[in-house]
A = this chain, B = another copy of it.
Amino acid sequence: MTGFDPGDLLAVAREEALIGKAEGGIPIGAALFTIDGELLGRGRNRRVQDGDPSMHAETAAFRDAGRRRHYRDTVMVTTLSPCWYCSGLVRQFAIPHVVIGEARTFSGGHDWLAGHGTRITILDDPACVEAMTEFIAERPDLWFEDIGQ
- Chain B neighbourhood of A149, CB < 8 A: 94
Chain A 67-87 interface residues, beta-carbon cutoff 8 Å to B: 67-71, 83-87
- Chain B neighbourhood of A117, CB < 8 A: none
Q: Judge whether A123 is part of the interface by a CB distance below 8 angstroms.
A: no
- Number of residues on chain A facing chain B (CB within 8 A): 34
- Chain B neighbourhood of A63, CB < 8 A: 52-55
Pull 20 A–B residue pairs with CB atoms less than 8 Å apart, ordered by A: A53-B66, A54-B55, A54-B59, A54-B62, A54-B63, A55-B63, A59-B59, A70-B148, A83-B88, A84-B88, A84-B89, A84-B91, A84-B92, A85-B88, A85-B92, A86-B88, A88-B88, A88-B109, A92-B147, A93-B148
